[in-house]
Amino acid sequence: MHATCVIYNPAAGRGRAERLLKTLPPARAAGVELRPTSHATHAIELAREAADEGFAKVVAAGGDGTVHEVANGILQSDRRDTIFSVWPIGSANDFAFTLGMDRWWAQRERNAPTETLEIDVGRVTTANRAVYFVCNLGVGFNGMVNGEARHTRWLKGLPLYAWAFLKALVKHFDRPTMTIRFDERVVTTPTLALSVLNGQREGNFPLRPNASLTDGLFDYMHATRLTRMHLLRYLPAMARGKLPENHRLVGLGRAARIEVSCEIPLCVHADGEFVCVPDEGIKEISLEVLPKCLRVEVFPPALYGGLK
């Protein structure tokens, strides 16, 4: 039995995943079993099987979509001692950034040491299913931005999501009335977008740079009656993680449980993967934090400044 199972999407990063995995040093590759995905959600199945088979470590080699599926597979397994690791390759690596593992490829030649950390995980529940997420969830406009990003193949990273943001700004600018419960506080208002973060970034934008993976709370950004001009004005600040702290149309806070009810069907993504789209007719979701339920591999704080 190999110690490590690496699950990767051969198409991730336009084939970059497969090319990079071939460069693994022989000593490291000798203890690794590679399992490519062949279709959507396949990584969930592969990760669940790998965890149940007893692999000590299961790796997501890809972007946030692969990370999302592999994490869900591990969490669906019967084992609780599996270590989850990320080798970032995709067009968005938000979770790897929060972990400090976005430097994995640069550190691998040094054979840099790693540690294990227990982190929180989010769970979103709809009328017909429950899905785990490790980094971010977006409701409304954010879901539409995610859809535009998935249909753009000629960019990656922050430029990809900035372009998708601008396309969504033209095509999908709705502010339906939502009732949102943040723990015991309830707000009913027209809502452009709700960002719920376990990590620090969504779509490469550092929306909540002080968010922690280990505090038992979500960090959220609730945008209400913002106009297109507001969004264009704040786009550069969003890219730098400098959102206005006291804007009357933007609510920032923390909560362990969030419930959303909308007058029209919702568009929701989790870690860049759709939870529901308007055609499904889902108008209500609930979110909760599952404290310290996933073991992840990280670099020691001295290598990247520390994990909050």
Mean pLDDT for 127-149 is: 91
Residue 30 predicted with pLDDT over 70: no
Give the tokens for residue 261: 């009810």
Residue 292 or residue 242, greater confidence: 292
Residue 308 or residue 258, greater confidence: 258
Residue 242 predicted with pLDDT over 60: yes
Query: What is the per-residue pLDDT for 106?
Result: 62
Mean pLDDT for 161-189 is: 91
CB-based contact 218:287 (threshold 8 Å): yes
Q: Out of 26-40, 99-113, 188-202, pick the least confident.
A: 99-113
Residue 302 predicted with pLDDT over 50: no
Query: What is the per-residue pLDDT for 162?
Result: 82
Residue 2 predicted with pLDDT over 70: no
Domains of the chain: 4-119+292-301 (3.40.50.10330), 130-291 (2.60.200.40)
pLDDT tens for each residue of 43-89: 999 999 999 999 999 999 988 999 999 999 999 999 999 999 998 88
Mean pLDDT for 7-18 is: 76
Q: Write down the pTM of the prediction.
A: 0.90
pLDDT tens for each residue of 244-296: 777 889 999 999 999 999 999 999 999 999 999 999 999 999 999 999 999 99
Query: What is the per-residue pLDDT for 68?
Result: 97
Residue 103 predicted with pLDDT over 70: no
